[in-house]
Each structure stands twice: as C-alpha cells, then as structure tokens.
Amino acid sequence: MVEIDVRQGDITRLAFDAVVNAANNHLWMGGGVAGALKRAGGPEIEAEALSKGPIPVGEAAVTTAGKLPARYVIHAAVMGQDLRTDAEKIRQATRNSLLRAGEIGVRTIAFPALGTGVGGFPLGECARIMIHEVMQYPAEGSTLEKVVFVLFDEAAFAVFQQEMDRQTGQK
C-alpha cells in the first residue's frame, strides 16, 4: 500500500523524486504553484514543459526539475486557457500524474492542492477528490511508495488533514 501524508510547507524545497505542478494545458508557468516552481527551479523547467505542450486538460507531462531538489516536475493540466477547472479535471489530472510517476519509476511524489489557486476550485472538494484518487491508485506493480500533499498555508493544511482523517477513518 502507498503511504499517504499531509504536510504544511513549501513544495519547491522538497527533495522528493517528483513534485506536481498545478498547470494549464499549454504548460505555461505563470502564477501560483507553477510560478513558485519556475522561480525556484529556473526557466529551463518551463522551456522543457512548453516543448511538450499543449496537452489535453486532465493529462500530465513530465520534465526535469532544473535547480529544484526534486528530480522531476509532473505538470498536471487542471485547466485550459480559460483558467477554470472542475472536479473531473482535478480527478483526471491527479490520476494521470500518478500514472506518469509510475512510468518514470518515481518512489516519492508531492502534490499541491490542484486547481484551488488560479482555478478557484473549493479546497474541501479538491481534498476529497485528490485523496480519494490517491487511495484508489493500485500500489501493485508500481514503484510508488509515498504520496504527500504539501499545503502552503495552515488553513489549507487543516482542510486536507481533516479530509485525510475522514477518508482513512482516523478520527
């Protein structure tokens, strides 16, 4: 079984095999998590991402991680040019990020709350969808050992932790 955890912190500082970027389908890295990853990791991440896009909304593409401590960035396209998202796009982007991680032999992966910043999707619903999707991911035959949801602020962390406890029956 894949270990799942929730942490408060800065996703750009984690030395995981992969970190997930909340992306648009053209893979431009402007604001939010994408902007933070680009500032910390360098413009080469965006240059490589742009060479792989556009991709369908709900899909994910892999790049190297530039100067980030992670090895890879998995760009999860949760929205198109309209910068809007919904539950199905978040579900698909989460699932496809996990699939890409498996394809490249990742053991540890960190996710932000997809679609809740620029995309404006409700945080609680995002937590429910993403945690459920990770719990449904088959560990059998996968290299994936640990998935961590990394939330930048205390309020987002609390929402994800509460949902994690609810889905795992811990509280």
Instruction: Determine the 3-state secondary structure of 50 from DSSP.
Output: helix
- Find the Cα–Cα–Cα–Cα dihedral 9, 15, 21, 22, rounded to 10°: -20
Helix or strand holding residue 154 (H, E): helix 154-168
* pLDDT tens digits, one per residue of 86-125: 999 999 999 999 999 999 999 999 999 999 988 889 999 9
Task: Record the tokens describing residue 125, joined without a space.
Answer: 């619903």
Is pLDDT at 17 greater than 70 in this prediction?
yes
- Which pLDDT does position 139 carry in this prediction? 65
Bin 169: left if φ > 0, else alpha if -120 < ψ < 50, else beta: left
Contact 100, 138 (CB under 8 A): no
Expressed in percent and rounded to 5, the helix, strand and coil fractions of the chain are 40, 20, 40
Contact 113, 160 (CB under 8 A): yes
pTM over 0.85: yes
pLDDT, average across residues 13-21: 96
pLDDT, average across residues 15-32: 95
- For the domain that residue 45 is a member of, what is the CATH number? 3.40.220.10
Domain hosting 162: range is 3-168
Classify residue 80 by burial, with Cβ atoms within 10 Å: 0-12, 13-18, 19+. middle
Is pLDDT at 171 greater than 80 in this prediction?
no
| pLDDT range class, residue 140, cuts 50, 70, 90 | low
pLDDT, average across residues 24-33: 93
pLDDT, average across residues 56-84: 96
Total domain count, the chain? 1
